[in-house]
Structure 1
Amino acid sequence: MGDGRESTLTETEYSPPSKQDTSETDFPDGGFRAWLIVAGTVASNASTFGFVNAWGVFQTYYEQTLLKDVSPSTIAWIGSVQYSLVFLPGLLTGRLFDLGYFKIPYATASILLVVLTFLVGQCTQYWHFILCQGIAIGLMCGTIFGPAIGIIGHWFKKRRGIALGIAATGSSIGGTIFPIATHKLIPLVGFPWTMRICGFMLMLTLGFANLVLARRLPAKDISGGLLNLRAFRNPAFTVYCVSGFIAFLGLYTVLTYIELSAVKVGVSPDFSFYLVSIANGSSLLGRVVGGIASDVYGPLNVLTPMTLIAAGMTFAWPHARSQTSLIIVAVLYGIVSGTYVSVFPIPIIAMGEVSDIGRRTGMALTIAAVGALAGPPISGAINSATGGFEAMGYYAGSTIVLGVMLLFTTRQLLLRRWRGKI
């Protein structure tokens, strides 16, 4: 107990004392406690990925006010660091999760995330924002986000897709509420108090998550330390990790710049900020339906075509020059990108033993994080060099298409035939 690792009591105190709850082959796959875990993960994702998904509003606000003398590409590094660090700590947190460490790291990161959100309201210079909002908040979100995926893997197997899909709606909920709240509150109470209110909102959602989330299976010390390099002997896992890295090079470009592109083509600033919330709100449908469909048809059979549509929307986005067309792009892009984010972890969980879920997922998410880190600034640099959004769309859409090709390769390596559920 003194080393911070959950005891056997903590692992099982909320579960009926039956063989089903202590076996790695039998999963609850439902029931009040299991669905309460999903509800806690919804709150967790709203506080982390949902909060980070609001970055597009901050990008526009900083460009127009607090950091108006800083280039868009440079400002974009704040958001891209956030995005990448949601994934990057997964290498460490995943290993700690497999070893049984969950409650203390999760609670500590939750407290620090609230405090750091308060501190963002006091930032005035670029280096303040990159350090506090980019690095520190990103790390805390990553420390919280990764283990929640592993928690779902402990409680669901046959219905894992729908469970992860519902859990991922938290990102949509947070990504819808935080941009609207931020945009509306700043003129009323100022930027510092807006961030304090966001901090209080996080205090509520993370408090609930800390109360209900718990592991089910006993900890296992699998050999290999932080890395399980043997997992890369599986060509499908290797190709899948590379596909995530390449897809994330372009996946967040639309979400980061759609509000700014709308302003540039004459859409009212009073409406343009809603585009980020529309995209995030629409992703809720993609996350839920994607999760259900992955259980029925197989995650890769769902992931591959939906990601291809995301590429198409990314190509189309720069050519949307009216409020109506931008809304259509935001809705469709939100649905398919939401499917990608919610379904992405499912094949990773299935590519190995359940006792190694945290470490294997952590490695894949860490690789994807590099793409999430580099993508938006590359897009911003292209925008600065060309003075428009068309080249950004071509770049981002092309990287997503390449990611789709690697997803199809992964499917063929696993299935070794053209048709089948995988």
Structure 2
Amino acid sequence: MAAELEQTEQAVYSSASSARTIPNDDPAYAIDEESKKTEAEDGEKDVAVEKVESAPVFDVGEFPDGGLRAWLVVLGCAAGTCATFGLVNAWGVFQAYYTTTILKGTSPSTIAWIGSIQYALVFIPGLVVGRIFDMGYVKLPLGLASALLVTATFLTAECKEYWQFLLCQGIAIGLACGTIFGILMGAPAHWFKRKLGRAFGVMALGSSIAGTVHPIIVKNLIQSVGFPWTLRVLGFIEIVLLAIQFATVERRLPPKAHTGPFLDFSVFKNVSFTLYTTSAFTAFLGLYTVLTYIDVNAVSIGINEDLAFYLLSIANACSAVGRIAGGLLADRAGPLNIMTPATLVAGVMTYVWPFANSVGGNIAVAIVYGASSGVFVSLLSTPIVRMGRMEDVGVRVGMCFTVMALSAVAGPPISGAINDATGGFKFTGIYAGSTVMAAVVFLMMTRMSLLGGLWGRC
């Protein structure tokens, strides 16, 4: 019994769901050193067993925190995010092409609904998909969603009418990407604990690479081989990336029995989780404003259109640096301790952006904003993972992302409406910067809720 007890003790990790703290990096503190020394006595054994049974569980078993299998999972997640965010991040190029060619005569705002629906569906299914992940399903939803994504991409090449683009590129591709993304966000937490930040950082490189490369690929391919073959080339690229994803991504732990409702909204009883979700919602009301309009604003102040096009790619390339650096630092200092100052810098740069009237100024904004916003995006899931039990991680991440999706869809149109009403981007920058700064306040409140004060690793 002593051997079994010791094995059980080492399998228990502390949880943030009831202790209001980020889980400890060491095995469960519920069993103290004195009880370990005296566990040979029957009475002490019974007390220890009672503590093990009642202790909140973060996970069972040791986290690999590295090794070939664990990093292959992260590689597969990175390939999946690259495939899904490839088309999503290239929407601006499609918007411009549709407006002047295939859908000429259709208002730009109507065409923009294709991209908005597509982007919304990347996040909105997270609540349902996260629950499916918690139930133990990985390969089946990934396989079905990957097949839908590739099929919809090839079908988009044949579209001629607005409703066809809305159905294939907006709804089908959006749902496929949302299903894949929802599964991928839970997988690294099954393999990493102390190095979870860097794992999410490497995973987020996929979307950063997609945001850098895909718009350039799409723009140049349309000019050289035409629209249909551009989509077919993208489809073949997706097949390779999704095959890597399907072969490598898997759960490490078996699912736990779940007797509650399919969608459990009780996670909002956790004050820290509610504050953090509010922070994410507020941030995305303005976080993507710079990335959406930096090239448009540059052209409006006289910067060459070809150079302005590459400002977004510069921002996404620098975002990759922020994602990796943020992950490494988060593992040392805590994710919220890194996210909060980085988001503050992103808010400041959002204020500065409309007042940058030179080529150098816009490049500087793209570099600093890209790196700082990349930290926030790459670490977005990390604090959520540590706010409860591993068997509910999919629901928590999905719940946060579903709420966040509402603001991510509304943010850019609100910024565009402010631009239309004022005839410039200065008030747009003030609006977007203020929402990001409000998110910083909620991040600080989350830290205080978890730590019970201002100082500490969080």
Contact 2:285 2:432 in 1 (8 A): yes
Q: Does 1:104 align with 2:140?
A: yes
- Aligned partners of 2:311, 2:164: CA distance in 1, in Å? 27
* 1:347-401 per-position Cα deviation (integer Å, ceiling 9, x unaligned): 1000000111111111111111111111112222222222222222122111111
Partner in structure 1 of residue 271 of structure 2: 235
CA displacement at 1:128 relative to structure 2: 3.4
Distance 2:376 2:61 in 1: 27
Shift of residue 171, structure 1, vs aligned partner: 0.7
Within the candidate set 122, 128, 144, 2:158 is matched to: 122
Of 84, 87, 90, which aligns to 2:123?
87
SS of structure 2 residue aligned to 1:27: coil
Q: How many Å separate the matches in 1 of 2:379 and 2:405?
A: 16
Q: Report the CA distance shift for 1:124/1:255 in structure 2 as closer, same or farther (over 3 A).
A: farther
The change in CA–CA distance for 1:125 and 1:325 in structure 2 (over 3 A counts) is farther
Could you list the per-position Cα deviations for residues 309-360 of structure 1 after superposition, in whole angstroms to 9, with x for gaps in the alignment? Answer: 1111222222223222221111111111111111010010000001111111
> CA contact under 8 A between 2:128 and 2:263: conserved in structure 1?
no
Equivalent positions of 1:8-407 (< 5 A) are 24-67=60-103, 69-407=105-443
Is residue 449 of structure 2 the alignment partner of residue 417 of structure 1?
no
Instruction: Give unpaired runs (5+ residues) of structure 1.
Output: 1-22
Distance in 2, Cα, partners of 1:57 & 1:259: 11
Counterpart residue type for residue 296 of structure 1 = R
Following superposition, the deviation at residue 68 of structure 1 comes to 5.3
Q: Does the aligned pair in 1 maintain the 2:345–2:372 contact within 8 Å?
A: yes
Contact 1:54 1:175 in 2 (8 A): yes
- Cα distance between partner residues in 2 of 1:205 and 1:341: 21
- How far did 1:263 drift? 2.0
Contact 1:179–1:276 under 8 Å retained in 2:
no
What's the offset of the Cα at 1:125? 4.2
1:67 deviates by 4.6
**Residue identity in the other structure for 2:386:** A
* Letter in structure 1 aligned against 2:439: G
Cα distance in 2 for partners of 1:339, 1:283 equals 7
54-63 or 271-280: bigger deviation? 54-63
| Alpha-carbon distance, 1:80 to partner | 2.8
- For the residues of structure 1 that align with 2:71 and 2:254, how far apart are their CA atoms? 20
Superposed CA deviations along residues 119-138 of structure 1, whole A, max 9, x for unmatched, are 22333444433332222211
Following the alignment from structure 1 to structure 2, what is the Cα–Cα distance between the partners of residues 64 and 401?
A: 37
Q: Which has the higher contact order (CA 8 A, sep 6+)?
A: 1
Structure 1 vs Structure 2 CA RMSD: 1.7
Bigger CA radius of gyration: 2
CA distance 1:127–1:378, shift in 2 (3 Å):
farther
Checking the alignment, whether the CA contact within 8 Å between 1:99 and 1:219 is kept in structure 2 is: yes
Q: Evaluate the alpha carbon distance shift between residue 71 and residue 396 of structure 1 in structure 2; reply closer, same or farther with a 3 A threshold.
A: farther
Contact in 2 for aligned 1:291/1:342 (Cα 8 Å)? yes
CA deviations 1:280-318 (Å, max 9, x no partner) are 111111111111111111111111111111111222222
**Mean Cα deviation higher: 125-134 or 208-217:** 125-134
CA distance in 1, matches of 2:408, 2:178: 13
Which residue pairs with 2:21 in the alignment? Answer: none
CA distance in 1 between counterparts of 2:110 and 2:431 reads 18
User: What is the CA-CA distance between 1:223 and the residue it aligns to?
Assistant: 3.3
> What TM-score, normalized by structure 1, do the two folds share?
0.90
Are the structure 2 counterparts of residues 394 and 126 from structure 1 closer, same or farther at C-alpha, using a change threshold of 3 Å?
Answer: farther
Q: Distance between the aligned counterparts of 1:70 and 1:381, measured in 2?
A: 19
Q: 1:59 to 1:312 in 2, by over 3 A?
A: farther
Distance of aligned partners of 1:203 and 1:110 in 2 relative to their CA distance in 1, 3 Å threshold: same
Q: 1:253 Cα deviation (Å)?
A: 1.4
Contact 2:201 2:323 in 1 (8 A): yes
Q: Is the 8 A contact 1:73 1:379 kept in 2?
A: no
Number of matched residues? 400
Q: Work out the CA distance in 2 between the residues paired with 1:252 and 1:87.
A: 15
For 2:113 and 2:257, the matched residues in 1 are separated by 37
Secondary structure in structure 1 of the residue aligned to 2:284: helix
